[in-house]
Amino acid sequence: MSALQELLTLKTHTFDAGLVFSGTASGTAIQGFEQASSYTPKADPNYVFHDSSRDIIVWFLTQKEPLYIYGYQGCGKSSCIKQLAARLNYPVFEITGHGRLEFADLVGHLSMENGSMTFQYGPLALAMRYGGICLINEIDLTSLGSKRIADPAHLKIFGTLKARATSSLDKHGVRFMSGWAIPQELAGEITAQLIKIRDEFMLEKEKFSENYNHNITTYSIY
């Protein structure tokens, strides 16, 4: 049985979230699969979930929107997702983002196999087809292209918020690898500023989403 054929045999299962992640029953149901597959990460019995993992577990409970996790390189973003998936027997289809990542890399493409043209599913298509998780590492390195489909005036606020966050970090910290190194005594103050900017971003995102269809259909490129 091939790895893809194995995915067809997967059956959903309802777990107790408390038992899965803490060993204590909570009565909160969380969906997973009865058994693991070849695409399911191996569970590390010594892995300790950080308190911040609760936010990701809540996402697993609903999964209404894509989940974006940010943090310093090597801080454990991907490993946290994989260990959560391992305990729920979720298959994980992984890809690393880069500047030349194309739509076909995510969805799939035609290729020659045994003298015939066959369609090779990409990680996003596999996750949608079989109910798994599409894990895109370094998604901030990908490019959405340069075609404008919405009035730049409606997007200006997002650039402003990004500039404010960057300015605050540059003012008090030093750029280090893919993030900033900041003085420990200022960590609380800077975090509060970033949380305020994040909240403003989410509010503006909601406003933009509410009028998305109107903005797209009424904008013309001259």
pLDDT at residue number 50: 82
pLDDT at residue number 220: 54
For the chain, give the mean pLDDT: 86
pLDDT tier for residue 144 given thresholds of 50, 70 and 90: low
User: Is the pLDDT assigned to residue 150 strictly greater than 80?
Assistant: no
Whole-number Å distance between alpha carbons of 36 and 174:
44
C-alpha distances in Å from residue 157, one per residue of 61, 79, 160: 31, 33, 5
Mean per-residue pLDDT for 141-169? 80
Mean per-residue pLDDT for 190-217? 85
Mean per-residue pLDDT for 65-69? 84
More confident residue, 144 or 187: 187
Can you give the C-alpha Rg of the chain in angstroms?
A: 21
What phi and psi, each to the nearest 5 degrees, are found at residue 157?
-60, -35
pLDDT at residue number 127: 93
Whole-number Å distance between alpha carbons of 41 and 25:
24
Mean per-residue pLDDT for 101-123? 85
Whole-number Å distance between alpha carbons of 97 and 79:
17
Among 91, 78, 82, residue whose Cα is nearest residue 34 = 91
Mean per-residue pLDDT for 20-45? 91
Whole-number Å distance between alpha carbons of 110 and 104:
9
Whole-number Å distance between alpha carbons of 125 and 201:
29
pLDDT tier for residue 222 given thresholds of 50, 70 and 90: very low
Helix (H, G, I), strand (E, B) or coil at 30: strand
pLDDT at residue number 9: 92
User: Is the pLDDT assigned to residue 195 strictly greater than 70?
Assistant: yes
Longest dimension (CA), the chain: 64
